[in-house]
Structure 1
Amino acid sequence: MLTGKKITDPMFDRSYKLQNFVSNALSDRVIDVIDPFNLHELSRYDAAMAMDCLEMLLDIGVRCALESPQFRPDIKDTLSILETVRRVFEDNTGGTETYTTGSFQDAVLVAQINSRSLPWNRLEVPEVPSRNLVERNSGGADRNVAATRQSMDPSPQMAPNSVTVSYTRQLRDPSPQMAPNLATVSYMDLHKATNGFSSANLVGAGGFGSVYKGTFDQEYVRLLLGDSGIEDEIGIAIAIKVFNLQRRGAVKSFNTEYQTLNDIDHTYLVKLITTCTSVDQDGHDFRAILFEFMDQGSLEMWLHPTYKSNHHGPIKPRILTLYARISIGIDIAYALDYLHNQCKNQIIHCDLKPGNILIDKNMFARIADFGLAITLPEYPSMNLCSSSTGIRGTTGYIAPEYGLGCKMTTKGDTYSFGILLLEMLTGKKPTNRMFRGGLNLHNFVSLSLPDDVIKITDPLMKVMTSANKGDDKRVEDCLTRMYSIGLACSKTSAKDRPDMRDVLYELESIRNIF
């Protein structure tokens, strides 16, 4: 109806379909796929606004034609979106004849018929904005298009060549209720921002995909952020996590991460900007999540730096001071206390490790990667067991009870935090070759306290002290208390591990006297 092309057109085959033809053109080449008859009609109205409306209609078509049924929108939602686009078009162009008596009216009519005959089993229809809300002053058209796109994306599962952006609220507000402000971005936008997902822009890789650094112009970043509450100082770089859908469990990981982060917000959790559910240029399903870019990389990079050199000689590795490590531990504890004690339903991260702790430009830590997270049921009797969900996490950081098939609890995260804290202080990974024959990181530290606390501490750590007598003793006392927290959190028995709120208070007490 919009392109004037049939699905049986000779230009299409099994690998290149009509929806691929349209998807690849969205955002910057819409005019190339529009039926010439529709292009002729554009001359009668505000061409820019009409083109925006056509782009949104094409986007709806691509969504409905997704290969995976679970990602197609419900017809009720589709009808609501079509009606909203029509109202925007009429209010901003005055076009009440051609597009309401031609192909656009046909699209709405078909949706109305189908909405009465098909089950409405997924989402409630979003309320259609009143015409009185449309801004008619200069620049109002752009804001109205953004409002329309907001109604277009009630769920990330509806966005094949676009994204559902659920922005977080004020940076310091830990309340789990979100105030979404939706916007759209295409696969081709991400392709361009990463220079074709070039290895030069690859900043990390995990079990279910890779993370790229995407560069956008400042105006585009502002459009994405909107009134999200994310600081307007993030610059033009955004982290793009692309999921490898060939890996079993990747789609589930994508859904889990989006759904978890969309419902929560905390200063020390990574900030979700948007998600992209689309198809790539080869017609394959594509999933990505966009996050605020963390300038200082991961905690893994700081604890275990790679020694590099340039034409000037060896590059001196970055080293965290003891005070910085205490502060990072506090940031992580704040986030875990929020997940365990302040959310409506308790959330277990299930994969806490240095690689999933990101550091921002101000050296604050953020917990990232919620692809394995579990939101506990409201009723304790329904708690999940590791035997039924599978053991989640990374070797060395997984709570021992999970290997026995015990139920998943927040104390599993507490164990991981304890191992993480011991690693931060010793500079040794729990998988270090020295840990064998019954010796592990926990036992290694336990056997060294209190006499050898300095001896087992990371030699790269710069302990900033003055020359005053007694400072060495003060540092040693702080280290001993920090090690004791790590040991308490990583005890074999889950019931013997402390609550993260108590851990937080103790860590803050240590920092205050340091």
Structure 2
Amino acid sequence: MTMHLFPFTPLFIFTLFFITNISIILGQQPYIGLGTTACPRKGDAKSIRGYTCNGETQTCQAYLTFRTQPIYSSVSTISSLLGSNPSQLAEINSVSLNETFETNKMVIVPVNCSCSGNYYQANTTYVFQNTDTYFLVANNTFEGLSTCQALMHENHNPSDIYPGRKLLVPLRCACPTKNQTEKNIKYLLSYLVNWGDSVSLISEKFGVNFKTTLVANSLTLTQATIYPFTTLLVPLFDKPSSSQIQTVSVSPPQQPSPSSSSPSSTDKTSNKTWVYVVIGVLGGVVVLALALVLYGFIFFKKGKKKNNFLANVSESTSYEAKEKPVKKEEEKLLEIIISGIAQSFKVYDFDEIKVATDDFSPSCLIKGNVYRGVINGDLAAIKKTEGDVSKEIQILNKVNHSNVIRLSGLSFNEGHWYLVYEYATNGALNEWIFSNKMNDEKKFLSWIQRIKIALDVAIGVEYLHSFNSNPYIHKDLKCSNILLDNDFKAKVSNLRLARCVQGVENDEEFVATRHIVGTRGCMAPEYLENGIVSTKIDVYAFGVLMLEMITGKEVGFILSKDGGNLFDVLSGIVGKESCDEKLKEFMDSSLEGNYPIELAMFVIEIIDHCLKKDPVDRPEMDEIVPILSRTLNSSLSWEMSVNVPMKHGHSLD
């Protein structure tokens, strides 16, 4: 069937873009882009420190968005953190003053925005915690509503950081310019960009014309990419409401009815040209085509003969369903599909990947199919893979946490995907736990470092279990999938096997599957034997990971030595009187006894609970996190009291 549309010649396409961009003149404020990732660098390109004081007024009412966290999830805690009036915050979100929100819910925060020097800001304060850095405070605690550059500039002696120090935190806000007020724009909202967001989706959420938002941020149709951890200014004709921040379906911006008389509708109506008609037709054709391709692809895969799910079990390595290389005719369509999923990722030209890795030089090889690369002056880990990577990309497109590895870009060439991740300087955890201490003395982790890493992993996994309405289960949690950055901060990686469990909201805690994937020894018995999937299989794997961390032995070795049953491994220690000799035999010899005996016993008890045969008897990850946090604090106190000498110079900052 042949479809006859408009003749899309190069001249026509150029004319199309020219017409749609003709009204986009100088923007009101420059969008910050990836400036927040350059914390140590000096300078203030693209208003990294704040939005410029170029409005008609020096002070105004402004609004922020904020996604609730476990600590900051109530009206009182959010208003205290962001320096907002709790009554106003409750009113604009249509809740009571005592309201506590669910985790990761977007709320609107009203603030008083005013000029401070050359920049607008709403001021609040924050007290430094034990493991904080300027980057973590800006991007984790305040989620990108401030930047580390702004924090360092506003606080004297920025290098003098210590627990308990009170910081002045400038939040990113702005007041409308004269051009905006002439168009009846009354407020500016600093919207926190999340994975999967785009300018069009955000504009639609608040009922604002797409081009108006572009202009407000000095963006154009051809340069409209936005990134998580940044703010996008949304121009508003009226105060925002809680109904606008509810989840909306992904669809093109809708045109208003001619009868609408609001300023927002007037603004939209004035821009309703034939261009949108053409774009609408094209959008419908593309969506239909992609749907047909996906349907055919799924139908093809379902027709494949399924292997016996237990026949794929390997004793010591990860295993997963293998995908055949993508056919040539499917490559471009799959690339379009993935690009649509990953709106927050950069799609690199393959030549850029080759340059970054020195044409995949052996000197750049990290391990397996992972290469070290340099992109835009920054180190990156580039993983070469094939098959369907859409599941991992979909998850990483939504994930936004410092303890989960970040995917920044991707490329596609001749059936292979090239995924560009943040670079973890200190490599995988297993290289530090199982290294030969005699031949490589640098590969050593102290007791404090091990507990801190365990806490980081627990926080990362707990985030996967709770950031979405249905939990994401990692399914292959192990030491080789935990990466360590320059400060030995742990990051959970390799989410290719991860699965979103549906039905949890209906109290269906366990789901059955016939597709068993993972690593033998790290898999919970109910999953390996019966295909039962729940968050508790990650808890079991976390227990195995902690067991390996404190013993310095791989789970395969432990199983072979102790009769192949992890439930009996700890029976000689747990629940009995502490025996220094027995504990010494159990613990990693490289620690040389430099650990608090009582806390070591306590950690062993945590491991024992994680390894319970019945998943109901295992704790949840959100129970493990505060326990390990207290264990870390107690360990730090112990270290200060005994003045433990650090081995090989590797210590926590």
Residues 286 and 131 (structure 1), Cα distance of their counterparts in 2 relative to 1, 3 Å cut: farther
Shift of 1:328: 0.7
| Corresponding position of 1:490 | 611
| Other-structure match for 2:223 | 146
| 1:380 shift after superposition | 4.4
Contact in 1 for aligned 2:516/2:528 (Cα 8 Å): yes
Q: Relative to 1, partners in 2 of residues 1:356 and 1:437: Cα closer, same or farther, differing over 3 Å?
A: closer
Write out per-residue CA displacement over residues 249-285 of structure 1, whole angstroms, 9 at most, x where no aligned residue. Answer: x31xx11111111112112111121232x3x3xxx22
- 1:202 and 2:398 aligned: no
Higher strand share: 2
Matches for 1:206-285 after TM superposition, within 5 Å = 210-218=369-377, 236-243=378-385, 245=386, 250-251=387-388, 254-276=389-411, 278=412, 280=413, 284-285=414-415
- The C-alpha deviation readout for 1:372-391, integer Å capped at 9, x for no partner, is 00101145477774542x11
Superposition TM-score, scaled by structure 1 size: 0.58
SS of the counterpart of 2:616?
helix
Please tell me the root mean square deviation across aligned C-alpha atoms, in Å.
Answer: 4.0
Distance in 1, matches of 2:587 and 2:499, equals: 34
Contact 2:24–2:211, Cα closer than 8 Å, also in 1? no
CA distance in 2, matches of 1:320, 1:305: 11
What is the Cα deviation at residue 448 of structure 1? 3.6
Instruction: Note the 1:106-145 alignment, pairs <5 A.
Output: 129-130=210-211, 133=214, 145=222
Q: Distance in 2 between matches of 1:382 and 1:158?
A: 36
Task: State the alpha-carbon separation in 2 of the partners of residues 160 and 166 from structure 1.
Answer: 10
Q: Distance in 2 between matches of 1:484 and 1:145?
A: 57
1:418 aligns with 2:553: no
* Distance in 2 between residues matched to 1:335 and 1:300, nearest whole Å: 18
Q: Could you tell me which of 83, 87, 91 is aligned with 2:20?
A: 87
Look up the SS of the partner of 1:318 in the other structure: coil
The 2-side partners of 1:371 and 1:513 are apart by 36
Higher helix share: 1
Secondary structure of 2:533's counterpart equals coil
Aligned twin of 1:326: 451
Q: Distance in 1 between matches of 2:223 and 2:345?
A: 8
How many percent of aligned residue pairs carry the same amino acid? Answer: 24
Identify if the C-alpha distance between structure 1 residues 315 and 458 changes in structure 2 by more than 3 Å, giving closer, same or farther: closer
Aligned counterpart, 2:500: 375
1:405-439: CA deviation from partner (whole Å, max 9, x where unpaired): 24200000000000110110001111117625734
Residue of 349, 356, 371 corresponding to 1:193: 356
Residues of 1 paired with 2:551 and 2:562: CA distance?
20
Q: Give the aligned length.
A: 345
* Deviations, residues 207-232 of structure 1 (Å, cap 9, x unaligned): xxx221111233xxxxxxxxxxxxxx
The one-character-per-residue Cα deviations of 1:38-95 (angstroms, maximum 9, x if unpaired) are 8xx9xxxxxxxxxxx99xxxxxxxxxxxxxxxxxxxxxxxxxxx95587359979xxx
Which residue does 2:51 correspond to in 1?
Answer: none
What is the identity, as a one-letter code, of the residue corresponding to 2:399?
I
Letter in 2 for 1:447: G
**2:418 alignment partner in structure 1:** 288
2:483 paired with 1:358: yes
Q: Residues 465-498 of structure 1: CA distance to partner in whole angstroms, max 9, x if unpaired?
A: 7xxxxxxxxx110100011101110111111111
**Residue 216 to residue 442, structure 1, CA distance change in 2 (3 Å):** same
Tell me, yes or no, if the aligned pair for 1:237 and 1:293 is still in contact at 8 Å: yes
- CA separation of 1:456 and 1:511: change in aligned 2, threshold 3 A: same
Distance (whole Å) between structure 2 residues aligned to residue 303 and residue 362 of structure 1: 16
Provide the residue aligned with 2:435 in structure 1: 305
Could you list the runs of 5+ residues in structure 1 that have no partner in the other structure? 1-36, 42-52, 55-81, 93-122, 168-179, 219-235, 309-313, 466-474
Offset, 1:340: 1.8
C-alpha distance after superposition, 1:73-132 (max 9, x if no partner) = xxxxxxxxx95587359979xxxxxxxxxxxxxxxxxxxxxxxxxxxxxx9x97895389
The CA deviation string for residues 175-228 of structure 1, in whole angstroms up to 9 with x for no partner, is: xxxxx64544211111111122223212133xxxx221111233xxxxxxxxxx
For 2:177, the equivalent position in structure 1 comes to none
Q: Which runs of 5+ in 2 are unaligned?
A: 1-8, 26-197, 228-251, 253-282, 291-330, 636-653
Residue 270 of structure 1 aligns to a residue whose secondary structure is coil
Q: 2:213 and 2:535 mapped to 1: Cα distance?
A: 49
Q: Does the CA contact (< 8 Å) of 2:456 and 2:489 recur in 1? A: yes
Partner of 2:243: none
Mapped partners of 1:145, 1:212: distance in 2: 31
